[in-house]
A and B are shown apart, each in its own frame.
Chain A
Amino acid sequence: MLKLGKNDLGVFGFVVAITLLAPFLMNPFPEGSALAQFNAGYPDLMQRFVIFGIFAIGFNILFGLTGYLSFGHAAFLGVGSYAAVWMFKLLTMNIIPAIILAVLISGLFALVIGYVSLRRSGIYFSILTLAFAQMSFSLAYSVLTPITNGETGLQITLNDPRVLDTVNTTGNLPVTGLFGLEMRDTATLEIAGWAFQFNVGFYVSALIMLAAFYLSIRVFRSPFGLMLRAIKTNQNRLNYTGLNSRPYTLAAFVISGMYAGLAGGLMASMDPLAGAERMQWTASGEVVLMTILGGAGTLLGPILGAGFIKYFENIFSKINDNVLHGWFNFMPDFMENVMVTIIHPFVGKGWHLTLGLLFMIIVIFLPGGLVDGGTRLWKRLLTRKQDNSSSVVATTPAK
């Protein structure tokens, strides 16, 4: 089915299910309960899950398959966002032209940066991409202000031409949409104590992510993907086998740059503004973390990694001392204060600390990332079951 192998179909089906059911799955705790803090089922965050999912899926095509570690992919995300906002300003608030332009421009940008950076490999490649991204970041703040609107960031205004849209007489800023559907529209389903939110922007992004994910599976399983893996394992051998690896790495670089541009375009489609900080090296580093955390070179890894990091960023950073006191107020005052003091550095503004520790634990104990850990656990469970029933176990891991 869908021209996918059995395992891949399983993985794809799993991702389709969790993505489409995300408004339920991310909202396990009833409204108003003490644990409602940990709900992630609100539109903003769910949009970010899938958009960063796209970013990481694309990054994984480059890093996971070829082993070339780019430290500048946020530049393509930023370029995609700027391109999309310009479409909203000049053409229409419909997100389709915006997204198409975002992908094309970032692809072109990736072609140029990739062409130069891929003349080197290893650490030198990483440094070159980093340098390009920082250069783009600085340019966006300075020389390119007419295009990027500098520190303020690029926004839509009432005076923009928007040649395809009807004249706006409401006096309010127009909103992004897709043939009448507004991205910010949200339907809420209330069942007992729960309130599940279904947002148009999330579902549009989710469908695009699923398409992007499907495409990445096909790339992974294609001869082209096999060549990319060959580059990672032994580029030397590949050259003596009659293949010039450069066009392959460049194609992978451009594809992953286009994924990043797609993510950037979608980001702008959810909220039509673009700022240079999206291109900063921390943003490039984040997608590296996502991919490694989830499992570089695995299909599912980048999606899990993106979800994991975005969840921490948004949920843990919201837990402040008041919330902590709320949790521990069943304890005597003295104990309560001790507990709050202990946990305080790890939450709120300190969420980076928690994330950093988790990252270290995962990299040290699960070098293959979350997917690897999951696979090992799964295998262990299977073998235990097998002892009882002696069933046949699949040899290929369910990556």
Chain B
Amino acid sequence: MGILEVTNVNKRFGGLRALHDLNLSVDEGTVHAIIGPNGAGKSTMLNCFVGRLIPDSGSVMFNGASLLGLKPHEINQTGVARVFQTPEIFGDLSLLDNVVIPALAKHDGAFKLNAWQRVTSRLEIREEAEHILEVVGLIEQKATICSSLSRGDKRRLELAMCLIQHPKLLLLDEPTAGMSRADTNNTIDLLKKIGERGITKIIIEHDMHVVFSLATKISVLAQGTIIAQGPPEEIKGDPRVIEAYLGGELG
């Protein structure tokens, strides 16, 4: 039994079958890459995991409990964090605040009217936030308002926001899209570094360099269903995959 078990999930948008009897099993502690052409349904799949979309049928079990029917914040509280394809951050706030918020959320649970405690008085949280910003390499800009960050830095900030929560499962939707080669390599190193924390990761990626440097297992998604699955070496040579998605790219 994997930490995440997805069985027969279907999702339609009008006449479009975005997910078609999708089955997926993710083992604890692995980096599971999902690849597939544009419009294959990769982001839709993640949306079904985090409660942004509700599947028409099927089941999504995390750690033995169903995620379906839970609200997004409840799903997060079970230990699932997500980096979005277009960064979702608190644009008007400083980097430090952006990281402090998820830390407080984790710390305080659902709601606390703690008007009498200043943010700065919560030293442990602040220290932890600064530490995480250091890990992702953004500590120098901690006071900057983050809407002015570059796209790559926003992604890294969002990653820091997820990491500070110590999630059990981290969902990454194209974490290096739009990044320069150097930035991409930085992110790969970063993801390898945090791999030591034993967080299970699902990573959606178009960049094969990233996929093959990180993944322990690869699933290929096409037209809403998994068409091939296995360790990286196997996927590289699978003719169905080459036909459906990779084309001559790996040649």
Q: How far is the CB of B158 from chain A (nearest CB, A)?
A: 8
B105 close to A241 (CB less than 8 A) = yes
Cα–Cα, bound, A1→B217 (Å): 57
Q: Chain A's interface: helix, strand, loop or mixed, by majority?
A: helix
Produce 1/0 per residue, B84-128, CB < 8 A to A. Answer: 000011111100010011101110101111111111101000000
With A224-B114, A244-B111 known as contacts, the answer to whether A238 contacts B119 (CB < 8 A) is no
Instruction: Judge whether A24 is part of the interface by a CB distance below 8 angstroms.
Output: no
Kindly state whether residue B82 has any CB partner on chain A within 8 Å.
yes
Q: Which 9 A-B pairs have the closest CB atoms?
A: A242-B76, A247-B111, A233-B90, A237-B88, A239-B72, A222-B115, A233-B92, A242-B105, A241-B102
Is A9 in contact with chain B by the CB < 8 A criterion?
A: no
Which listed residue (B73, B82, B92) contacts A243, Cβ 8 A? B73
With A and B bound together, what is the CA distance between A219 and B113 in angstroms?
9
Chain A, residue nearest B108 (CB): A223
Measured CA separation A215–B77 after assembly (Å): 31
Q: Is B161 an interface residue (CB 8 A)?
A: yes
- Does any Cβ of B come within 8 Å of A226's Cβ? yes
Q: Mark A216-236, 1 if CB is under 8 A from B, else 0.
A: 001101111111011011101
Determine if A238 and B101 form an interchain contact, defined as CB atoms under 8 angstroms apart: yes
A251 interfacial by beta-carbon distance below 8 Å: yes
- Which positions 122-150 of chain B face chain A at CB distance < 8 Å? 122, 143
The reply to whether A242 and B88 form a contact with Cβ atoms under 8 Å apart is no
The reply to whether B118 and A3 form a contact with Cβ atoms under 8 Å apart is yes
Say how far B109's CB is from chain A's closest CB, in angstroms. 8
A residues in contact with B72, CB < 8 Å: 239-240
Complex contacts, A281 vs chain B, CB 8 Å = none
Does chain B have a CB within 8 A of A170?
no
Would A248 and B100 count as touching, CB distance under 8 A?
Answer: no
Q: Is B50 an interface residue (CB 8 A)?
A: yes
- The answer, yes or no, to whether A395 is at the interface (CB within 8 Å) is yes
B30 located at the interface, meaning its Cβ lies under 8 Å from any Cβ of chain A in the complex:
no
Complex-state Cα separation, A234 to B89, whole angstroms: 7
Smallest beta-carbon distance A64→chain B, Å? 12
Q: Shortest beta-carbon distance, A121 to chain B, in Å?
A: 15
Decide: B73 and A218 in contact? CB cutoff 8 A: no
Interface flag for B59 (CB, 8 Å) = no
| Pair B102/A223 contact, Cβ less than 8 Å | no
Interface residues on A, range: 20 to 34
Further pairs besides A5-B118, A229-B93: 9, Cβ < 8 Å? A215-B115, A221-B119, A223-B119, A224-B114, A226-B93, A229-B92, A237-B89, A241-B101, A244-B71
Interface positions, chain A 191-236, Cβ under 8 Å from B, are: 215, 218-219, 221-227, 229-230, 232-234, 236
Q: How far is the CA of A226 from the CA of B143 in the complex (A)?
A: 15
Shortest CB distance B71–A (Å): 7
Which among A3, A226, A233, A239 is the interface contact of B104 at CB below 8 angstroms? A226
Chain A positions 64-100 with a Cβ under 8 Å from a chain B Cβ: none
Per the bound structure, the CA–CA distance linking A243 and B75 in Å amounts to: 10
The 12 sampled A-B contact pairs (Cβ below 8 Å) are A5-B118, A221-B119, A222-B114, A223-B108, A224-B113, A226-B119, A236-B88, A239-B73, A241-B73, A242-B77, A243-B110, A244-B73
Complex interface: chain B residues within 8 A of A242 (CB): 73, 76-77, 102, 105-106, 110, 165
Contacts A240-B72, A242-B76, A244-B111; is A222 near B118 (CB within 8 Å)? Answer: yes
Question: Which residues of A have CB within 8 Å of B143?
Answer: 395
| Chain B min CB distance to A104 (Å) | 17
Question: In the complex, what's the smallest C-beta–C-beta distance from A119 to chain B, in angstroms?
Answer: 14
Contact of B115 among A224, A240, A247 (CB under 8 A): A224
The CA-CA distance from A215 to B115 in the complex, in Å, is 9
For A223, A224, A247, the residue with the greatest tally of chain B CB atoms inside 10 Å of its CB is: A223
Contact at A239–B71, with CB atoms within 8 Å? yes
| 40-79 of chain B: CB within 8 A of chain A | 50, 52, 71-73, 76-77
Residues of A55-70 contacting chain B, CB below 8 A: none
Tell me, in angstroms, the Cα distance from A291 to B122 when the chains sit together: 31
Least distance between A256 CB and chain B CB atoms (Å): 13
How far is B116's CA from A293's CA once the two chains are assembled, in angstroms? Answer: 29
Query: Within the complex, which residue of A3, A219, A223, A230 is in contact with B122, where a contact is CB–CB below 8 Å?
Result: A223
Neighbouring A residues of B112 by C-beta, 8 Å? 223-224
Among A5, A227, A229, the one with the most B-chain Cβ atoms within 10 Å of its Cβ is A227
Best-surrounded residue of A232, A236, A244 (most CB of chain B within 10 A): A244
Counting chain B CB atoms within 10 Å of each CB, which of A215, A222, A236 scores highest? A222
Q: A240-B76, A242-B105 are in contact. Are A222 and B116 (CB under 8 A)?
A: yes
- For B83, the closest partner residue in chain A by CB is A240
Q: A222-B117, A248-B111 are in contact. Are A234 and B76 (CB under 8 A)?
A: no
Chain A residue numbers with a CB within 8 Å of B110 are: 242-244, 247
Contact between chains at B82 and A240 (CB < 8 Å): yes
Q: Contact at B117–A223, with CB atoms within 8 Å?
A: yes
The reply to whether B117 and A227 contact each other, CB–CB distance below 8 Å, is: no
Given contacts A226-B97, A242-B105, A243-B105, contact A219 B90 (CB under 8 A): no
User: Which chain B positions have C-beta within 8 A of A251?
Assistant: 111, 113
Q: In the complex the two chains form, is A227's CB within 8 Å of B116's CB?
A: no
Contacts of A240 in B (CB 8 A): 50, 52, 72-73, 76, 81-82, 88
Cβ B71 vs Cβ A219 within 8 A = no
> Are B73's CB and A219's CB within 8 A?
no
